[in-house]
């Protein structure tokens, strides 16, 4: 089960193309200027099975990607890893936001590493109000990185995405 805050079926702001964005409930980071503070409190969302979430995603026929947002998806890593596996098996590109950095997740627990391994793209790092930017596609502040997860896992060193759809080049 995942403790859900909400699902936005046809988002164009959480990654390239039409995507389904899944907002989880609960975040430990408490960034100043957070865009979604109502998701901070743990245990106050709607517990939902990963199978049900996949059904909801499939109700958006134009969506080719799914983005996990929050809240902190890596605080519910076991459920999200299972969800990502099911979505990948159905051909979706899967991305996740996290207040943790790539390096922090790699040094985290087994469930967090398992979720990381399922992702195509990670947008990492806390939101830093002083570094807020409107010029960084799909990121709120300049410290956050767009990471090609599968390339990064080959060496353990984060590989940032600098060309293509994720930086606004279609
Ligand atoms: S990680 Fe995201 S949801 Fe959590 S406090 Fe920071 S901006 Fe808000």
- pLDDT at residue 151, rounded to an integer: 98
- pLDDT at residue 80, rounded to an integer: 98
Q: What is the DSSP letter of 60?
A: -
Kindly indicate the confidence band of residue 169, based on its pLDDT and cuts at 50, 70 and 90: confident
How many angstroms does the Cα of residue 70 sit away from the middle of ligand 1?
Answer: 7
Residue nearest to atom 1 of ligand 1 (CA): 99
pLDDT beyond 90 at 92: yes
Task: Compute the CA torsion angle 104, 20, 88, 15 (nearest 10 deg).
Answer: -60
Q: How far apart are the first and last CA of the chain?
A: 36
For position 21, which CATH number holds? 3.20.20.70
CA atoms within 13 A on the CB side of 85: 12
Structure tokens at 50: 């990963």
Average pLDDT over residues 61-86: 97
How far, CA to CA in Å, does 34 sit from each of 7, 70, 122, 148? 18, 10, 18, 24
Ligand 1 mutation pick, 6, 14, 28, 30, max ligand atoms within 8 A of CB: 30
pLDDT beyond 80 at 69: yes
Strand partners, 67: 21, 95
Tokens 């865009």 locate to 35
pLDDT beyond 80 at 170: no
Percent of the chain's residues with pLDDT above 70: 100
- pLDDT at residue 131, rounded to an integer: 95
> What domain range includes position 62?
2-167
Contact call for residues 59 and 105 (beta carbons, < 8 A): no
Q: How many domains does the structure of the chain reveal?
A: 1
**CB of 15 shorter than 6 A to ligand 1:** no
């Amino acid at each position: 089960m995942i403790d859900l805050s909400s699902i936005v079926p046809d988002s164009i702001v959480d990654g390239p193309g039409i995507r389904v964005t899944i907002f989880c409930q609960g975040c430990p980071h408490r960034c100043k200027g957070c865009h979604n503070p109502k998701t901070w409190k743990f245990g106050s969302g709607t517990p939902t099975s990963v199978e049900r979430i996949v059904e909801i995603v499939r109700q958006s026929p134009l969506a080719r990607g799914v983005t996990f947002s929050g809240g902190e998806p890596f605080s519910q890593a076991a459920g999200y890893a299972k969800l990502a596996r099911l979505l990948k098996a159905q051909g979706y590109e899967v991305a996740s936001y996290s207040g943790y950095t790539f390096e922090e997740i790699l040094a985290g627990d087994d469930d967090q590493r398992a979720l990381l391994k399922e992702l195509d793209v990670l947008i990492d790092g806390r939101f830093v109000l002083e570094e807020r930017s409107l010029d960084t596609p799909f990121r709120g502040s300049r410290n956050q990185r767009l990471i090609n997860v599968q390339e990064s896992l080959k060496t353990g060193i984060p590989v940032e995405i600098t060309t293509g759809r994720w930086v606004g080049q279609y």
